[in-house]
Amino acid sequence: MSLLLDEIAIATARLAEAGVESPRTDAELIAARLHGVSRGELHLVPDAGFDPRFWDEVARREAREPLQHITGVAYFRYLELAVGSGVFVPRQETEVMTCWAIDRLAAMDVAEPVVADLGTGSGAIALSIAQEVPRAVVHAVEADPLARQWAERNIASVATASPHTAGRVILHAGDFASVLQEFDGQLDLVVSNPPYIPVGAWVPPEVGEYDPATALWGGTDGLDAVRVVEATARRLLRPGGLLAVEHGAQQGAAVYWVFAEENGWRDTRNNADLAGRDRFVTTARAWGAPGMAG
């Protein structure tokens, strides 16, 4: 055993004691980032190279600060995004919805599909679409100025790493209830991971104390923002345009009915995340829906 592996074993026990869900993984990821190696190379770090700041960072994780705030990065599909105080940490469950949007856009018979990401946070969904659907243009909407700073930073760094994304994610400041009116009836796809936690619901400290409140709480039943997304998407989408909206694992049935046929939606479906839990609703703007030509 090396000194670093010994320290990781002690850190793992401390993190487990503090109630951290994946204590070994977190201890290893903290150590790997700090020592500039991959997780598989931790045993190669010489004893003399052990960085004592490891224990400062373990203490932060022990206090239930999110791992991604400590390392400063969140991995999302093919992206490495900068995250920290003031922005929602993108979650793995959102990757499946993003994949759905990417697959639909890639298959769309449209030269340059135009998309809106309502509540972009770090820019995770918008940037993945721009990176993986090179013809798409994504309007990323965010009301929170702090979150927008993180999105700006990620848009710039992804444009450096993947120059084909440059200029194809356009950040808009404002409330998604009212922005993008110049695109009414024109968008090909709207995607959103809105705040959807019912007020008063229990959340772990990593979420309640570190994710911004504007990213979390969705009113009494959690669906306040989902209803706004519905009205906004109804305004923005062209006939046949597609929508995907994320929700909590217990909200599938309720969100399904937000996208009812009488509101001009068709093919509304519930979709699961990788753990098999209800996670997002997809639907399409009906042809000849109320307020639409054709």
Under the rule (CB under 6 A), what is the footprint of ligand SAM? 88, 90, 94, 119-122, 124-125, 141-144, 147, 175-177, 193-195, 212, 214-215, 225
| Min CB(79)–ligand SAM separation in Å | 11
- Which CB atom, from 54 or from 76, has the smaller least distance to ligand SAM? 76
169-173 and 114-118 as β-strands: parallel, antiparallel, unpaired?
unpaired
Minimum CB distance to ligand SAM smaller for 94 or for 268:
94
| 84 or 195: CB nearest ligand SAM | 195
List the beta strands (DSSP E) in the chain: 73-76, 79-82, 114-118, 137-142, 169-173, 187-192, 237-246, 265-272, 278-285
Tokens (6 digits) for 27: 């201890």
Rank residues 143 and 254 by Cβ distance to ligand SAM and give the closer one: 143
**In the bound complex, what is the minimum distance in angstroms from residue 117's beta carbon to ligand SAM?**
6
Output the smallest distance, CB 48 to ligand SAM, in A.
Answer: 40
- Cβ(117)–Cβ(143) below 8 Å: no
Min dist CB 205 to ligand SAM, Å, is: 17
Q: Would you say 84 or 121 has its CB closer to ligand SAM? A: 121
Minimum distance from residue 176 beta carbon to ligand SAM (Å): 4
CB-wise, 11 or 151, nearer to ligand SAM?
A: 151
Provide the angle, in degrees to the nearest 10, between the axes of the packed helices 124-132 and 145-161: 20
Minimum CB distance to ligand SAM smaller for 124 or for 284: 124
Residue nearest to ligand SAM (CB): 119
> C-beta of 146: minimal distance to ligand SAM in Å?
9
What is the C-alpha separation between 68 and 84, in angstroms, rounded?
A: 7
CB of 220 to ligand SAM, least distance (A): 16
Contacts of residue 67, Cβ cutoff 8 Å, sequence gap at least 6: 26, 29, 30, 61
Contacts 24+ apart (CB under 8 A), 78-85: 78/128, 78/131, 78/132, 79/124, 79/127, 79/128, 79/131, 79/154, 79/158, 81/122, 81/123, 81/124, 81/127, 81/154, 82/122, 82/150, 82/153, 82/154, 82/157, 83/122, 83/150, 84/150, 85/146, 85/210
